[in-house]
Amino acid sequence: MYLKMYRKFIVNFIIVLIIISLCGCTTMAEVNLTTNEIYKKIYIGDTVRVKQKNGTRSEFKVSSTENKILAGDGKNIPFDQIQSLEKEQFSYVKTSLLVILGGTFVIGSVVMCSAFFGG
């Protein structure tokens, strides 16, 4: 009985792990503040974190980078008012670690369950 219940848990856990690994992990990466770099690295739909020279911080999805203005979610920030700019991007390292650690946990659980319940 315990083994059957434990196997169901393992199967559900593996399904969740696969879904998480397909979604992946993201991280914020700093973008060089030259106008050309902003135009090259920031695209419509990107999620960015901006710190303005006046200290205001914003995080939003970009809808436009025209006329040297970063715009999105009702915000319009001129490039020359940006102190720092970060862009959300996929992190292969975090995703790989998540999959490896999760897989190790599942394999370890199966081995422990087999040893404990003799199944």
User: Tokens 């990107």 map to which residue?
Assistant: 46
Q: Name all domains of the chain by residue range, CATH numbers in brackets.
A: 24-92 (2.30.30)
Which H or E element spans position 96? Answer: helix 92-117
pLDDT tens-digit profile of 2-46? Answer: 566 667 777 777 777 677 666 667 677 788 778 777 888 888 999
pLDDT tens-digit profile of 55-78? Answer: 999 999 999 999 999 999 999 999
Residue 72 CA to residue 44 CA, distance in Å, equals: 9
Residue 87 CA to residue 59 CA, distance in Å, equals: 10
